[in-house]
Amino acid sequence: MMTKEIDLKMLNNNTLSIYKKQKVINPIKSKQQIITKQAFTLLELLVVIAILGMLAAFVVPAVVGKKDEAQRKLACTQMASISNVLETFKMDNSAYPDTEEGLEALLHNPDADKYPQYARTPYYKKLPKDTWGTPYTYIKTGDSFKIISYAGDRKEGGTGGDEDIVYPGCEEGK
């Protein structure tokens, strides 16, 4: 690629002289300059990868264990909601459903003679399941009740993240 420039000079005898200057630009050098200006060096890429690795080392452990904790909190929140519905059932019928009637008593009246004040519409259209897809277990204890989720292992007992969740009690982080 060549460029031409015109240079005007004044000579001693007050006449103008025109000189043509030719300037040659090396096309190979300009392509290299363009390439180096558009690309990252290997060192820059390694620094970015190292920074991302350090961030991942701090963030990933903090996020990984949160799923189990969130599922347990959600199950406890659902059990609190069921508890509120059971309180409504008790206000209407002067008693909680028996253990044998279970939470199914919130879907339909288990005994019209025993619960003459049962609501016209069911307390639930469909019973909620815990966050692991298992039905909650209901146990009447005297004038109170317990709601239990068997957590991730879906069986009674368990340790750690599979420990049973019992309401009341789970809302305090137990």
How many residues are listed for the chain in this entry? Answer: 174
Distance set, CA 19 to CA 2, 5, 75 (Å): 16, 9, 90
Task: With cut-offs at 50, 70 and 90, classify the pLDDT of residue 116.
Answer: very high
Give the range with max mean pLDDT: 20-29, 112-121, 158-167. Answer: 112-121
CATH code for residues 66-172: 3.30.700.10
- Residue range 56-93, pLDDT digits in tens: 888 887 777 788 888 889 999 999 999 999 999 999 99
Quote the pLDDT of residue 174: 45
Question: Taking the CB of residue 165, how many other CB atoms lie within 10 A of it?
Answer: 23
d(Cα 68, Cα 74) in Å, to the nearest integer?
A: 10
Stretch 25-42: mean pLDDT, rounded? 61
Task: With cut-offs at 50, 70 and 90, classify the pLDDT of residue 31.
Answer: low
- Residues of the chain within CATH 3.30.700.10 domain(s) are 66-172
* Strand pairing report for 165-167 and 137-141: unpaired
